[in-house]
């Protein structure tokens, strides 16, 4: 009877240790054993976030097509097919990154977990940017908090911030064609993490148009970090093409 009681205490102790580890800040690695466990935790967290982003997208697609329910169903079916195809790609692509590591060892699993985490974070940010403030190129200008405009050769570029949204909208317009939108981009993430729930706080400011594009400052506060950091960034604009956001190394506030 005493032996069973001791065994029960041991099991409870092990469970308690496991719970404590799962809640610790894995950004600070002090032992090699943490690497594998934290990679597994990061994968689980990224999977949960991806599932949330996917479900929210389906809700947005359905909500924004209330006037045409059949169209809404078609868009949702398209999103489901795309997500299934992407998951298959991710789950067959990531093992390729571990082909130079012996199968069955911890490093092999950790390499795959890191890949899945990275791809899932990038996918979440991508899904979060689909039909957020409206469909297509539409922006609700009754909720604009700040905006700016500048000419680039034969086209005009403008940026727009919406009240309550950390995202930045950038558009290229044709001034000689009724200000028709030629291209647009919405920036709602950085480093694979969404501004909505990947950071404690995120946003742009300090907008300045230059010959090479839109220069701005990106301010980020990690969910578990050491305060706010600032990055000097540029969104290159070439003709009607809006390029990817490029940022410098961070500077602490």
Q: Set out the domains of the chain in order of their start, with CATH numbers.
A: 6-128 (1.20.1270.180), 141-252 (no CATH)
Q: Which residues of 117-150 are buried (b: 16+ CB within 10 A; e: fewer)?
A: bbbbbbbbbbbbbbbbbeeeeebeeeeeeeeeee
CA-wise closest residue to 124 among 195, 29, 64, 21:
195
Asked if residues 140 and 133 have their Cβ atoms less than 8 Å apart, the reply is yes
Report d(CA 6, CA 207) in Å as an integer. 65
Asked if residues 76 and 62 have their Cβ atoms less than 8 Å apart, the reply is yes
Q: Which residues contact 180 (CB under 8 A, 6 or more apart)?
A: 173, 174
DSSP 16-85: HHHHHHHHS-TTS--SHHHHHHHHHHHHHHHHHHHHHHHHHHHHHHHHTTTT-HHHHHHHHHHHHHHHHH
pLDDT at 135: 40
| Token representation of residue 12 | 């409870």
Report d(CA 47, CA 91) in Å as an integer. 12
| Token representation of residue 246 | 């490029």
Q: Which residues contact 187 (CB under 8 A, 6 or more apart)?
A: 167, 168, 169, 170, 204, 235, 245
The sign of the dihedral angle between the CA atoms of 98, 100, 104, 110 is negative
| Token representation of residue 166 | 């950390």
Radius of gyration of the chain (CA): 23
Asked if residues 192 and 180 have their Cβ atoms less than 8 Å apart, the reply is no
Q: Which pLDDT tens digits describe the chain residue by residue (253 residues)?
A: 444 344 443 333 434 344 344 445 676 666 667 888 889 998 998 899 899 889 988 888 887 777 778 888 888 999 999 999 999 999 999 999 999 999 989 999 999 999 999 999 888 877 876 765 444 445 666 788 899 998 877 778 999 998 888 999 998 887 765 667 777 888 999 988 899 888 999 999 999 999 899 999 999 999 887 788 999 999 999 887 889 999 999 987 6
The 10 Å Cβ neighbour count of residue 158 is 19
Asked if residues 116 and 94 have their Cβ atoms less than 8 Å apart, the reply is yes
pLDDT at 114: 93
Asked if residues 13 and 32 have their Cβ atoms less than 8 Å apart, the reply is no
pTM attached to this predicted model:
0.50
| Token representation of residue 164 | 């309550």
| Token representation of residue 158 | 């403008």
């Amino acid at each position: 009877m005493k032996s069973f009681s001791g065994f029960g205490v041991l099991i409870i102790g092990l469970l308690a240790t496991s719970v404590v580890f799962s809640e610790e800040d894995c950004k600070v690695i002090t032992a090699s054993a943490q690497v594998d466990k934290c990679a597994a935790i990061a994968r689980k967290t990224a999977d949960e976030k991806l599932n949330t982003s996917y479900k929210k997208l389906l809700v947005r697609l359905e909500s924004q097509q209330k006037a045409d329910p059949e169209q809404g169903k078609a868009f949702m079916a398209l999103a489901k097919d795309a997500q299934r195809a992407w998951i298959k790609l991710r789950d067959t692509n990531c093992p390729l990154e571990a082909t130079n590591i012996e199968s069955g060892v911890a490093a092999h699993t950790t390499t795959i977990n890191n890949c899945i985490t990275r791809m899932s974070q990038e996918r979440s940010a991508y899904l979060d940017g689909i039909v957020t403030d409206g469909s297509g190129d539409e922006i609700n200008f009754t909720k604009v908090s700040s905006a700016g405009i500048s000419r680039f050769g034969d086209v005009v570029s403008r940026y727009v911030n919406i009240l309550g949204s950390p995202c930045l909208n950038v558009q290229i317009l044709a001034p000689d064609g009724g200000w028709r939108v030629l291209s647009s981009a919405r920036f709602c993430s950085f480093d694979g993490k969404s501004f909505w729930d990947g950071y404690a706080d995120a946003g742009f400011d300090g907008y300045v148009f230059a010959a090479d594009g839109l220069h701005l400052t990106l301010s980020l506060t990690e969910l578990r970090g050491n305060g706010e950091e600032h990055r000097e960034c540029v969104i290159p604009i070439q003709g009607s093409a809006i390029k990817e956001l490029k940022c410098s190394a961070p500077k602490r506030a």
